[in-house]
Amino acid sequence: MDVTFEFDWAAALASIPHLLPGIPYTLLISFGGLAIGFIIGIIFGLLRISPLHWLRLPAGLYIEVFRGTPVLVQVLFIFYGLPQILGGPINALVAGIAAIAVNSGAYISEIVRGGVESIERGQREAGLSLGLSRTQAFRYIIWPQALRRMIPPLGNQAIISIKDTSLFSVIGVGELVRQGQVYIATTFTALEVYLMVALLYLAITWSLSLILRTLERKGLVGQ
């Protein structure tokens, strides 16, 4: 049996105005979660390199748990499971931001650890020999250099987190995929709509990649 199909570009273009309202939600969840995740990552990343075993252990446990489980399972647990513990519902948008925060925080912890450990030990010792305290040596010598090296992998993590938001349609967050699903339910143009969703995600992530490459080319990040 011959099956003929024609891609409807008019339907694809007509879907864009209906998809655009999902972009603010996608960006809010992504960058809101990443901002919190960066704070979490700094804390647990530094705990991972602490000389105290009782601080390294819980940090390592957090990192392994949230890197070893899917972000979809994490957001479902936050949205459906935590309300049973807390005794009240959790807003879907809040659940999405929290999932990105704890998930990205685990990966950022390892980025922070790697960035700090990449700085030569001699630089810390040089700071101490100049009369700086360990905290001052870290703040003024180690951290600025480590942060510069961390920016490229942090950018990659941001791209991953942006794409992860596409999973949050399962809890009803009005991001790009959810907007597409709602529109498809009335137009039955799944192929055209999902192609536009993919292109919008690509536009967001490509723009971020372009910014990172520009910073690297100008020598503002990396080595």
At residue 171, the pLDDT reads 92
Kindly state whether residue 209 falls inside one of the protein's structural domains.
yes
* Integer CA distances (angstroms), 120 to 62, 136, 159, in order: 27, 16, 29
Kindly state whether residue 168 falls inside one of the protein's structural domains.
yes
Q: For position 66, which CATH number holds?
A: 1.10.3720.10
Domain containing residue 168 = 13-217
Beta-carbon count within 10 A of 60 CB: 14
Global pTM value:
0.91
Kindly state whether residue 113 falls inside one of the protein's structural domains.
yes
Chain centroid, CA 146 distance in Å: 20
* Cβ within 8 Å of residue 184, ≥6 positions away: 190, 193, 194
Q: Is the pLDDT confidence value at 2 over 70?
A: no
Kindly state whether residue 78 falls inside one of the protein's structural domains.
yes
Mean pLDDT of all residues in 140-163: 92
**For residue 128, what pLDDT band results from cuts at 50, 70 and 90?**
confident
Higher-pLDDT residue of 107 and 214 is 107
DSSP collapsed to 3 states, 146-181: HHHHHHHHHHHHHHHHHHHHHHHHHHCCCCHHHHHH
Kindly state whether residue 165 falls inside one of the protein's structural domains.
yes
Kindly state whether residue 3 falls inside one of the protein's structural domains.
no
Mean pLDDT of all residues in 46-55: 90
Q: Is the pLDDT confidence value at 223 over 80?
A: no
Residues 65-115 pLDDT 10s: 999 999 999 999 999 999 999 888 999 999 999 999 999 999 999 999 999
Residues 4-26 pLDDT 10s: 668 888 999 999 999 999 999 99
- Are 45 and 113 contacting, i.e. CB atoms less than 8 angstroms apart? yes
- Which stretch, 97-101, 130-134, 175-179, has highest mean pLDDT? 97-101
Q: Is the pLDDT confidence value at 135 over 90?
A: no
What percent of the chain is modeled with pLDDT above 90? 70
Q: Is the pLDDT confidence value at 1 over 60?
A: no
Kindly state whether residue 141 falls inside one of the protein's structural domains.
yes
At residue 221, the pLDDT reads 67
Tokens of 105: 């925080």
Kindly state whether residue 116 falls inside one of the protein's structural domains.
yes
The total domain count for the chain is 1
Mean pLDDT of the chain: 91
At residue 130, the pLDDT reads 81
